[in-house]
Structure 1
Amino acid sequence: MTTLSSHAPSVVDYQFDDPVQRIIVAIITSLASCIGLIGNVLVIIAIIFSKRLQNKTNVFVTNLAIADLVTCSLLPFQVVALLVDPWPLSDILCTAVGMLTWICLWTSNVTLALVAYNRYNIVLKKRDEYEKIYKKWKMVLWIVFSWILPTSLVTIPPAFDFGAMGYSTRYRVCTADTSHPKSDWYALLTSVTVQVPCLIVIIVSYTLLFRHVRIHNQKMLELFSAPSGKISTQDVESGRVSQAAVSMQRHVFKRQHQITKNLFVVVCSFMICVMPFGIACLIPPSYPAIPWVSMLVLVNSCVNPIIYGLKHPQFNEVFRPLICCHLRKIPQPSKVLVSIVDKPAAGKDNQACSPVT
């Protein structure tokens, strides 16, 4: 868990010693790990098994799921660190866990920004322009960038003695070594460098996207409805507009409402789960708050599959048969899935969890 120190070294030292608080944080961290492991594995398998989900946007969603999956797989080590004092395992292992957790969390943040930018380009750019931006080799560069930036921020400063990774005696987890004199500034550098730009990209991209959709919907209403662009009850009763126009307006409003709700959830999730940590890094003294705001950052890793997977209709169409082991019902099966469900076993077709044909 990336529980980091976040303010000037002159602040009075703090120790996360309260056993009740540590148990609560450990329980929530364990739940986040379990939910995140299941959710992110489902997202990855769904994309592998269905051609319908194998598009350029979901390349970023896959990258997001991988980063979050690694984060969730590392959380049990943090639970051990919280409950067993001092750290009972190898110091090298603790350093590796801390570094990988930081890298994957910041990669997740960068990928969320890339997803937002991608969705902006899908809607606002022409097809030719979009294809130029997201050619295969450029997609590779986007993904590599999402890992290189966090990795550089986590590894380069310690190489120049600007912070260190290891067991934090202050927070009782594997994270920044809080005994290092520059630990606070190291945490501030890595978190703010990633979080602030990502927040700006997410808010700007989704704001422009929503504005474009709203303007487009208004034009559609003006095209199919009354000259004023609005349909009243009197218009319908007098026959000045058709029932089809009414249906069109309702459909457009419903679509706009759904888009608004989804964008609101995305932005709010990022701000609620990630930004408190960034704020704590900027406003001292905040040591007592760090374990709790860091826990929110971890919770974001199990929330992402729900936002970017479960709320997406195409993912839902794959999740249902996948969870029920009805693999033959997965729409547009990929070659990987076909090879699994049609693979002969002992002279009989392997029904892969006894799917309903």
Structure 2
Amino acid sequence: MEINTTYPPTLPPYPINIRYILSVALSVTCFVGLFGNGLVMLSVVLSRKLQTKTNIFVFTLAVSDFMTCLGMPFSAISFVHEELPFPHAVCTLGACLIWVGVGSSTINLAYIAWNRFMLITRSRTSYDNIFCKLNVTFMIIFAWAFPFLLYIVPVFVLLDGIGYTEYFHVCMTDAFAYLGVFFQIPSSIVIVVCYFKIFRHIRAHSVGLKSHTVKGEPSSSSHSQSSAEYKKNGQSRSKVTLVPSSATTPTVTRKTPKSGFVQSISSRQVQVTKNMFFVVCGYYICIMPYAIVTMFTDIVDPKIWSFALPWTTAFLLLNSCVNFVIYSFNHPQFQLVFHKITTCNWREIPQPSPLLQSILSLRR
């Protein structure tokens, strides 16, 4: 399947030295991304401690980034050849892996933002009702099916859209880039709204905690006792209390009037939410240059646009290995499991999964 994209005939050939640099950049991103995302997936599979509802979407995000990395070698190789060194169908396959992976990553980031929002700001009952096994299964199916239908189906129906671009010598053409608005814009709205509401919620609880501290409120045990008496009296209005999460560290809690559930905003939940926010920031830092270049295609000088497009695309694909770096430096649980796996101390992995237990029993 040969896909030819028409560019102004006045454009000079794309510099071979720049293509070599881009090929090396893609190769490094591919290697780090395959290793890092593979390690993330393996960690979630082997440790029950990491098998939370949030990490289900982290796992799916890692699969999406892993798929994107699988498509990079085709472009890295084609960059350094004047003619496509393998069949066009193989080139199209590599491009499809990239764009479906990028699309699925965006949707999964929106799921993670929504998950953190529900976990921190809503009752446990509401959270469990929305993120039950059936709903999570449908969410994951949608995260893969939607970009597949947008990008892959047109390739086989119209025999056009994704494949090899002769001018850039790359397997990454996306004639249907505008279709990305169907998940980029809605996902971005969900992400921004959820994290903004999370910030407001945590800030409000922090202010309440400081207010109790300044006024010299009774001890935590007194608060717990008064909460029990409050519940016994059958009063229905909301109440903010202090419940100790450890011997010395207080945790802000909120009791919802409908379910009676007392939800704690622990420092761990806040840290996990911050890590997920960093992941989102990394994604948008990587995608924004590409989005700006593609949005102003008809305005920017063709020479500038044609030179910038491969660089911004390579920067976009850099996001495929950024998440692993964030987990490595900011997520203590992933850090621990990463260390045990890479040092081959699999028996020391915390809360080993049934699969890991079976593997270890076979090695005895």
What is the TM-score when the length of structure 1 is the normalising length?
A: 0.79
| Matching residue of 1:265 | 278
Q: Say which of 227, 238, 241 aligns to 2:215.
A: 227
Q: 1:47-106 CA distances to partner (integer Å, 9 max, x unpaired)?
A: 111111112111111111111112112211111010112111011111111112111111
1:146-295 aligned at under 5 Å gives the runs 146-158=143-155, 161=158, 163-176=160-173, 183=175, 186-187=176-177, 189-223=178-212, 225-227=213-215, 262=275, 265-284=278-297, 285=300, 286-295=305-314
Q: Say which of 71, 76, 81 aligns to 2:78.
A: 81
1:95-134 aligned at under 5 Å gives the runs 95-134=92-131
Contact preservation (8 Å) 1:195, 1:274: no
| 2:331 paired with 1:312 | yes
The alpha carbon displacement at 1:264 in A equals 5.6
The alpha carbon displacement at 1:193 in A equals 2.9
Contact preservation (8 Å) 1:46, 1:53: yes
Contact preservation (8 Å) 2:70, 2:97: no
Change (3 A) 1:69 1:10: closer
Q: Determine which structure has greater relative contact order: mean sequence separation of CA pairs < 8 Å that are 6+ residues apart, divided by chain length.
A: 1
> What residue ranges of structure 1 are gaps of 5+ in the alignment?
178-182, 230-245, 350-357
| Matching residue of 1:336 | 355
Q: Measure, in 1, the Cα distance between the counterparts of 2:208 and 2:353.
A: 39
Q: 1:217-246 CA distances to partner (integer Å, 9 max, x unpaired)?
A: 2212222x11299xxxxxxxxxxxxxxxx9
3-state DSSP of counterpart to 1:88: coil
| 2:322 paired with 1:303 | yes
Identity %: 34
Q: Measure, in 1, the Cα distance between the counterparts of 2:153 and 2:13.
A: 28
Change (3 A) 1:260 1:105: closer
3-state DSSP of counterpart to 2:356: helix
Q: Measure, in 1, the Cα distance between the counterparts of 2:158 and 2:124.
A: 48
| Matching residue of 1:41 | 38
Contact preservation (8 Å) 1:49, 1:334: yes
Q: Measure, in 2, the Cα distance between the counterparts of 1:69 and 1:63.
A: 10
The alpha carbon displacement at 1:110 in A equals 1.3
How big is the alpha-carbon RMSD for the aligned residues of Structure 1 and Structure 2?
A: 3.0
Q: Measure, in 2, the Cα distance between the counterparts of 1:210 and 1:52.
A: 26
Change (3 A) 1:261 1:14: farther
Q: Measure, in 2, the Cα distance between the counterparts of 1:16 and 1:329.
A: 55
Q: 1:154-197 CA distances to partner (integer Å, 9 max, x unpaired)?
A: 034445649422211122111227xxxxx3xx22x233333222
Q: 1:283-342 CA distances to partner (integer Å, 9 max, x unpaired)?
A: 123332211111111100101222346522221221121111111111111111111122
Query: Which amino acid counterpart does residue 196 of structure 1 have in structure 2?
Result: I
Change (3 A) 1:338 1:16: farther
What is the TM-score when the length of structure 2 is the normalising length?
A: 0.77
Contact preservation (8 Å) 1:16, 1:288: no
> What residue ranges of structure 2 are gaps of 5+ in the alignment?
218-247, 252-264
Change (3 A) 1:15 1:204: farther
Contact preservation (8 Å) 1:43, 1:309: no
Q: Say which of 129, 145, 160 aligns to 2:142.
A: 145
Q: Measure, in 2, the Cα distance between the counterparts of 1:13 and 1:136.
A: 56
3-state DSSP of counterpart to 1:174: strand
Change (3 A) 1:212 1:255: same
Query: Which amino acid counterpart does residue 172 of structure 2 have in structure 1?
Result: T
Change (3 A) 1:302 1:218: same
Q: Measure, in 1, the Cα distance between the counterparts of 2:313 and 2:273.
A: 28
Contact preservation (8 Å) 1:213, 1:256: no
Query: Which amino acid counterpart does residue 296 of structure 2 have in structure 1?
Result: I
Contact preservation (8 Å) 2:155, 2:161: yes
Query: Which amino acid counterpart does residue 152 of structure 2 have in structure 1?
Result: T
Query: Which amino acid counterpart does residue 298 of structure 1 have in structure 2?
Result: L
